[in-house]
Amino acid sequence: MSNAHEPSANVSPDDVVVLRSVKKDFDEQQVLKGIDLVARRNETVVLIGGSGAGKTTLLRLIVALDRPTSGQILIEGEDIAVLPDRELNRIRKKFGMVYQYAALLDSINVLDNVAFPLVEHTKLSKSEINDRVMEKLEILGLDPKVVARKFPAELSGGMRKRVGLARALMLEPPILVYDEPTSGLDPLTSRMVDDLIEQMREKFNVTSLVISHDIASCFRIAHQAILLIDGRVEASGTPDELLEGPSTIAREFIRNSGVDVRALSRVKPRGLNQKRRTTA
């Protein structure tokens, strides 16, 4: 009998997230109907699909907040579907979550919001934690002296996204998960978020999983796009492969978005200028 802690012999070290025939039932309803996908190291995978397609359910399974009815979910080669509950917190630390509206705690300031994962999961001293918070804010183009003592309500939408991303990076996870990162943002700020996603991938060598309705964002950042329809993978590949591939549903889904994808260009990796601070 194999040990659940041992990486699967059939998984490449660069295959960070692997799903095999994953199904999820709620009572009599089958929400996920046999999902297969592979997200590789230093790759951005964008999951697209309409409401009710199963994206949120799939995300909860991947980050070990729920269990599949059947199938395998391998995180860095380890099948989390068979792990005992006490082991799942260890798996969850492999993920940094960036939520739709940053999900910052309104009652505490930026410093304490960003510090929260270190306070909860490490035994670092207060001064060490503060130093790490300041470093991450600086990396993300925010002036720690200006924003650290501010409360979330005092921040712009773009700044909230950056603070949420700083918090997600505090435990230096191998996987960053973005839940509708551009939802509710104006086009300029949305493109800034696209840039951030790719800059984080480049700087920290992370695998990025992005749940999105934003077709423009998908074409700008995705190495792999996966279209979920009614709990199944309808199409996968590069965004251009979905646009030009055999799936009529995928082609219509992109066309119906109203986005002129031919006019879009992929985000060019350029790193973060640590000397340049933003108020966006």
- Cα 268 off chain centre by: 19
Q: What percentage of the chain reaches a pLDDT higher than 90?
A: 59
Cα 164 from Cα 162, distance rounded (Å): 5
Give the Cβ contact number of residue 188 at 10 Å.
Answer: 9
Domain positions in the chain: 41-65+89-263
| pLDDT reading at 228 higher than 90 | yes
Q: E-assigned strands of the chain?
A: 15-26, 29-40, 44-48, 70-75, 78-79, 95-98, 175-179, 207-211, 224-229, 232-237
Fold assignment, 41-65+89-263: Rossmann fold (3.40.50)
pLDDT, position 263:
81
Residue closest to 162 by CA, chosen among 181, 145, 149:
181
| pLDDT reading at 145 higher than 70 | yes
Cα 275 from Cα 86, distance rounded (Å): 42
> Taking all residues of the chain, what is their mean pLDDT, rounded to a whole number?
88
Range of lowest pLDDT (25-34, 183-192, 209-218): 183-192
User: Which of the four pLDDT bands, split at 50, 70 and 90, describes residue 80?
Assistant: very high
Q: What angle do CA 270, 273, 279 make, to 5 degrees?
A: 115
Residues in the chain: 280
- Segment 225-230 shows an average pLDDT of 96
pLDDT per residue over 8-55, tens digit each? 547 788 999 999 999 999 988 999 999 999 999 999 999 999 888 999
Range of lowest pLDDT (155-159, 195-199, 223-227): 155-159
